[in-house]
Amino acid sequence: MKTKTLITSCCLLAIMACGTAFAQQGKMQSGPYKGPMVPMVAADNPAAVFYTNFETNACTGCNYDATNGFLVLGPANCGIAGATQWLAYPFVSKATGTTRQVTLGITDWSICVPTVHGITVQIMGDNCSGGPDTTNVLGTGTTNVPAAPCLTARARLAANLVAGTTYWVVVTTNTTASQMGTTAVWWETNPGRQSYNLNDGNGWIAFGVGGPGAFSVQ
């Protein structure tokens, strides 16, 4: 897997040409957020937290790392023409019960201003081969991603989870008007490493250990 310096090897003015190079590497990275930051809003405090990897950085005040992330792209995104990218990360539930929402460190990408911001968020079972079980969708929700870090996206969804069991949070786009042009970044956690899956339209593919996307399941 390429390091975080991959994005800096391509001039942002030539991002369209870079898209091909990214696709060949498997995972399109965002590089640092270039626009103005937004203060983090107060966290919701549900009764049960099934999982979280959010951790506030004392220097930035942000509970995820906006210096690098991985792209979530609709088929008509404004950043890399013709590219589509979805992401999935695993977690082990800390409790048994029914979820109410998934909170994600996902915002618009600062390279351009998309006209739509929709994503689909799902919790899936584990396929026991390092990826999400697409035949076992436990809950589905939709939401819009906010404009900039340190804001978060919140998708309401109900999924029945069992403590100690591995599940996947899966973020996708589709061809509906609200999601087709989504051009977003799932920002990494403040320090941490974890396996992930990527889907660029050719199915879910397991990759090695990398910086996980920031999220919580509540």
> What number of H helices and E strands is found in the chain?
1, 15
Average of per-residue pLDDT across 137-142? 98
> What's the pLDDT at 138?
98
> What's the pLDDT at 19?
34
* Torsions phi, psi for 137 (to 5 deg): -90, 115
> What's the pLDDT at 194?
58
Q: Where are the extended beta strands (E) located within the chain?
A: 51-52, 65-73, 86-92, 97-98, 101-104, 106-108, 118-126, 132-144, 153-156, 160-161, 166-172, 183-188, 194-199, 205-210, 215-217
Q: What is the mean pLDDT of the chain?
A: 82
Domain residue extents for the chain: 4-217
Cα distance between residue 108 and residue 78, in whole Å: 11
- pLDDT category at 200 given cuts 50, 70, 90 is confident
Condensed to tens digits (0 to 9), the pLDDT of residues 56-115 reads 988 888 999 998 899 999 999 999 999 999 999 999 999 999 999 999 999 999 999 999
Average of per-residue pLDDT across 151-170? 98
> What's the pLDDT at 67?
87
User: Three-class SS of residue 14?
Assistant: helix
Of all residues in the chain, what percent carry a pLDDT higher than 90?
63
> What's the pLDDT at 48?
74
Condensed to tens digits (0 to 9), the pLDDT of residues 24-60 reads 345 666 666 656 666 656 555 545 799 999 999 888 8
> What's the pLDDT at 170?
98
> What's the pLDDT at 150?
94
The closest alpha carbon to 6, from 210, 158, 157, 163, belongs to 210
Q: In the 8-state DSSP scheme, what is residue 136?
A: E
Give, for 16, the enclosing helix (H) or strand (E). helix 15-25
The closest alpha carbon to 161, from 83, 85, 82, 218, belongs to 218
Residue 2, Cβ density class (10 Å: 0-12 exposed, 13-18 middle, ≥19 buried): middle
* Torsions phi, psi for 15 (to 5 deg): -65, -30
- pLDDT category at 17 given cuts 50, 70, 90 is very low
Q: What pTM value is reported for the model?
A: 0.77
- Please say if the pLDDT value at position 205 is more than 90: no
